[in-house]
A = this chain, B = another copy of it.
Amino acid sequence: MPAMAEMTSDPFPLRLSAAGFLIVDMQNDFVRVGAPLEVPDARATIEPIRRVTRLFRAAKRPVIYTRFVTGPQETLLWTWSPQIRPPVCCCRVGFRRRYDDIQSERECMAVIDELAVEPGDHVIDKYWYGGFFRTNLQDVLFAAGADTVVIAGTVTQICVEETARGAFHHGFKTVVLSDCVSSFAPDLHAAALKNHSMKFGMVLDSRELAKRFGPGSSG
């Protein structure tokens, strides 16, 4: 049956030694409780993202964080995310905010404490949805010998999908991790994953990925 055939073969080989891990926009202003662009479901992805991060770090493969950042000059983005406007100033560089769940203040554009950036990791600041759009992400991956990108983060159908589309357009084999991405709209989340798996790249959950990258793998 076609369905089983699909399950037994990958569209491209997956090798950890040629992969990079991309964590999209897991920033305070998206993930913390009460954040202006809060995606509550993002908090359930923290633990699986941590597991995948450990997998890549153990293999000395690149861990790359994208951050959505905004500046004082208005752009077309403000039309669609009015939280960027003052006084809220979502993801504004240099802007700090108090978050209820951690009872303290953080840089609003910083990656959440739970996914702390470590020395040797890469941080890509982008002013638009796409991680590959006008950034050096393509070259960071090339420099590390990566032709494959594994993608986690939020929001599935916005910045994650845009970044996955960008990865494909730049020639990278792309895997979106279904249990490591999150959205405020379950229908659009599901549609984005389905569409990705049909025309852009693979969709796996983090345990399937670990199996393919595991001790018995060819990676």
Tell yes or no: A81 within 8 A of B by CB.
Answer: yes
- Tally of this chain's copies: 4
Residues 59-101 of A contacting B (Cβ, < 8 Å): 69-73, 75-76, 79-81, 93-94
Q: A138 — which chain B residues lie within 8 A by C-beta?
A: 134
Q: A219 — which chain B residues lie within 8 A by C-beta?
A: none
Contact digits for A148-188, partner B, Cβ 8 Å, 1 yes 0 no? 00000000011000100100110111000000000000011
A145 and B11 in contact (CB under 8 A), knowing A128-B139, A134-B138, A162-B165? no
| Distance in angstroms between the alpha carbons of A191 and B128 in the assembled complex | 21
Q: A144 — which chain B residues lie within 8 A by C-beta?
A: 71-73
Tell yes or no: A194 within 8 A of B by CB.
Answer: yes
A80 lies within 8 A of B198 (CB): yes
| Distance in angstroms between the alpha carbons of A142 and B135 in the assembled complex | 14
Shortest CB distance A28–B (Å)? 19
A169 lies within 8 A of B128 (CB): yes
| Distance in angstroms between the alpha carbons of A11 and B78 in the assembled complex | 10
Tell yes or no: A213 within 8 A of B by CB.
Answer: no
Write 11 A-B pairs (CB below 8 A) sorted by A numbering. Answer: A11-B79, A11-B80, A69-B143, A73-B145, A80-B198, A80-B199, A81-B199, A127-B143, A130-B169, A188-B191, A188-B194
